[in-house]
Amino acid sequence: MVKVEWSARAVEDLSKLDKPIAQRIIRKAAWFADNFDHITPEALSRDLIRIILVTRAETDKNNH
């Protein structure tokens, strides 16, 4: 079984969101943990990988 552990920063970020949005994220993470063993991984498309990398770079730049 997979367990979701929230970092202090994640909890802080969730607290800044509208309550319904934060609850949706928490429910999705719980669903993912509960169903992890039944999910078949799929490769990400190049476009999605690029979006993730750009977003990560921008986040890192803003945090330093």
Domain layout of the chain by residue ranges: 8-62
For the entire predicted model, the pTM comes to: 0.63
The pLDDT-based confidence of 59 (bands split at 50, 70, 90) is confident
Q: Decide if 33 contacts 3 (C-beta within 8 A).
A: yes
Rounded average pLDDT over 34-49: 87
Concatenated DSSP letters of 1-60:
-------HHHHHHHHHS-HHHHHHHHHHHHHHHHHGGGPPP-PPPHHHHHHHHHHHHHHH
50 vs 11, which has greater pLDDT?
11
Cβ-Cβ contacts under 8 Å for 46 (sequence gap 6 or more): none
